[in-house]
Amino acid sequence: MTAIPQGRTRRAALVGAMCALVVTGTGLTGCSEDPDAGTNGVGKLPAAQIQSKSRAAAEAAPAVRLSGSVVTSGRTYKLDMQLKADGGSGSVTAQGAEFQLLRIGEELYLKASAEFWNHQDGKDGKGDADGSDTAAAGKLGGKYVKVPQGDPSYKRFSGFTDKDVLLDGLLTLHGTLGTEGRHEQTGVRTIRVTGDKGSGGTLDVSLEGTPYPLLLVRAGGAGTLTFSDWGKDFTLTEPGKDETVDYGKQLPTS
């Protein structure tokens, strides 16, 4: 059972006592707590305005952490990323393979196991007869591999580390917007915005402080993401030379 914050309990008790006085003194037959009391007020707005304010808050925030799953082009990606204006870092899992991404400015690094690089070579871990592919994968495994900007993988992987690009593509609901009551995410009260009554996705927006997005359920079962650490800065550290491999102009491709 979810514990109810003491402040909310005391507030409810106070409202109940006030209602009793009103009923006793005036003969009125009912009283209820204002669901927007103590909130940022966005719960009173139309759904389109709530979504607009949440997107504006997300765009203005200097940093965010997002985690969960995204389904795109038939592939499911599990993400755990920290993002800010000049880069990002974190982990991505796709088709059972996990890899780390780090972007600082225009420099993008990918860190993965030797098994990952064998798969990228299209050899499924078998390698060439002379073992050269396996040896190459072994040199890349566990190292930060600098991704060349001209490589097709650069655009695909850098998108996971770009706050503006990623949020712009994700924070979208489809169809007619509406609201679906008050909810709670990790102890924070939220208002839920829906697209086509939920079939077009749902977005839980904070009712406390800045109206940041906190939970996104994408339309059509295309993934669920949670957002946290809004505005919380973090450090991006360039890997040392002994941790880095410069593969060249193009990475191995599958």
Q: In this predicted model, what pLDDT tens digit does every residue of 134-188 receive, in sequence order?
A: 656 677 888 999 999 888 889 889 999 999 999 999 999 999 999 999 999 999 9
181 and 221 housed in the same domain: yes
Classify residue 241 as exposed, middle or buried by CB count within 10 Å of its CB (0-12, 13-18, 19+).
exposed
Spatial CB neighbours of 21, under 8 Å, sequence gap ≥ 6 = none
For residue 127, being part of any structural domain is answered with no
Q: Side-chain half-sphere of 228: how many Cα atoms within 13 Å? A: 10
* pLDDT for 77: 94
For 177-224, the pLDDT digits (tens) are 999 999 999 999 999 999 999 999 999 999 999 999 999 999 999 999
Q: With a cut of 50, say whether residue 31 has pLDDT above it.
A: yes
10 and 54 housed in the same domain: no
For residue 185, being part of any structural domain is answered with yes
For residue 113, being part of any structural domain is answered with no
By residue range, what is the domain housing residue 56?
A: 42-61+168-228
216 and 173 housed in the same domain: yes
176 and 219 housed in the same domain: yes
* pLDDT for 130: 47
173 and 195 housed in the same domain: yes
pTM for the structure as a whole: 0.79
For 62-109, the pLDDT digits (tens) are 999 999 999 988 899 999 999 999 999 999 998 888 999 999 999 999
Measured in whole angstroms, the distance separating CA 138 from the mean position of its chain's CA atoms is 32
For residue 22, being part of any structural domain is answered with yes
For residue 19, being part of any structural domain is answered with yes
For residue 66, being part of any structural domain is answered with no
For residue 157, being part of any structural domain is answered with no
Q: With a cut of 80, say whether residue 249 has pLDDT above it.
A: no
For residue 147, being part of any structural domain is answered with no
49 and 24 housed in the same domain: no
* pLDDT for 14: 47
172 and 224 housed in the same domain: yes
Q: Which residues pair with 154 in a beta bridge?
A: none
Q: State how many domains the chain has.
A: 2
Spatial CB neighbours of 49, under 8 Å, sequence gap ≥ 6 = 42
Long-range Cβ pairs for the range 111-117 (8 Å, 24+): 111/142, 111/143, 111/144, 111/145, 112/140, 112/141, 112/145, 113/141, 113/142, 114/138, 114/140, 114/141, 114/142, 115/141, 116/141, 117/141, 117/252
19 and 51 housed in the same domain: no
Which tokens hold the place of 10?
């005391």
Q: Which residues pair with 64 in a beta bridge?
A: 83
3-state class of 201 per DSSP? coil
